[in-house]
Amino acid sequence: MTQPKPLDPASMTEFYGAELRRRREEAGLSQGGLGDLVFCSGAYVGLMEMASRRPQLELSERIDQALHADGFFRRLCEAILKASRFASYFAAAAELEQRALTVCDFATMVVPGLLQTPEYTRALIRSARPRVDPEEIERRVTVRQERARAVEAGQPELWFIIHEAVLRVPVGGDEIMREQLAHVAEMARSERAVVQVMPFSGGVNPLLYGTTTLMTFADEPPVVYTEAAYSGLLIEDPAVVAGNAKSYDLARAVAMSPRASLAFICRLAEEYTP
């Protein structure tokens, strides 16, 4: 029996954008006019039409209603999300990472995915889902490592603020933690990324509520992605993005310097040595 070919989310997103533009124009609506009907900006409609932004389910439902599309855009959006290798809530952010000029990450409890070693990722997955199939674990580890390589290939400016708690919460045992901290230190030494540690003495910052990633682009507006357990949110509202950027700047100001952070990480790595 012939097996169906895997769907390509990128080409499906382009098709979504082309259909959106065709049906919008048939309805006699401008991008701004459609945006008013579905509660987003005309500029965002334009980004979707150019396939620069992945569609979202709730927005697709509103587009169906505005264009009388009988569920077409929701069904296509569901197919795009299903074809992605990433969790549905993270798929759009993962795609944006690969064309970002800057990626600034604030980590509160676990090492950022772009800095994780395979062993650390395996330990995280097992802690969350002890009975998960080993093949599924390896698939997720592979996807995360490939994601890191893809982002690095785009050569964005990477900046990580890592809370001290991340470095002290043991994940997978001493050996895994020692290798993980050594990898973070190696990234900092190689100047492929700026790494700062936010010490406990740094006090409270609004970004402590969860993992936060800010991204900027050459020809697109900046975005913020926030993540909690089993959920994530891509934020594009200019005021909210600006607020997160300000909080990130404040965190940079109270975090250790890159040099002091590197020394601190190396000292902690030694504490995990038998």
My answer on whether 74 and 103 are in the same domain is no
Domain stop point among 23, 52, 83: 83
Does residue 221 lie in a domain region?
yes
My answer on whether 185 and 132 are in the same domain is yes
My answer on whether 161 and 61 are in the same domain is no
pLDDT over 70 percentage in the chain: 96
My answer on whether 247 and 205 are in the same domain is yes
My answer on whether 65 and 167 are in the same domain is no
Does residue 166 lie in a domain region?
yes
My answer on whether 124 and 77 are in the same domain is no
- CATH classification of the domain holding 208: 3.30.870
The Cα 49–Cα 24 span in angstroms is 10
- CATH classification of the domain holding 20: 1.10.260.40
Does residue 2 lie in a domain region?
no
My answer on whether 63 and 179 are in the same domain is no
My answer on whether 134 and 210 are in the same domain is yes
My answer on whether 174 and 218 are in the same domain is yes
Does residue 195 lie in a domain region?
yes
Domain stop point among 44, 60, 83: 83
The total number of structural domains in the chain stands at 2
My answer on whether 104 and 210 are in the same domain is yes
Q: Quick one: pLDDT at residue 81?
A: 83
My answer on whether 230 and 107 are in the same domain is yes
Does residue 4 lie in a domain region?
no
- Rounded (5°) CA angle 33-37-38: 115
Does residue 1 lie in a domain region?
no
Per-run averaged pLDDT (10 residues), the chain, 274 residues = 54 92 95 94 91 88 96 93 86 91 96 96 90 89 92 92 96 95 95 94 90 94 92 92 96 96 96 86
Does residue 186 lie in a domain region?
yes
> 183-205: per-residue pLDDT in tens?
999 999 988 899 999 999 999 99
Whether the Cβ atoms of residue 198 and residue 251 lie closer than 8 Å to each other:
yes
Q: Quick one: pLDDT at residue 3?
A: 47
Question: pTM of the predicted model, to two decimals?
Answer: 0.83
Does residue 3 lie in a domain region?
no
Domain stop point among 20, 53, 83: 83
The Cα 3–Cα 76 span in angstroms is 21
The Cα 28–Cα 30 span in angstroms is 7
The Cα 111–Cα 193 span in angstroms is 14
Q: Quick one: pLDDT at residue 210?
A: 86
Whether the Cβ atoms of residue 225 and residue 234 lie closer than 8 Å to each other:
yes
Residues of the domain holding 21: 9-83
Please state whether beta strands 157-163 and 102-107 pair in parallel, antiparallel, or not at all (unpaired).
Answer: parallel
My answer on whether 173 and 190 are in the same domain is yes
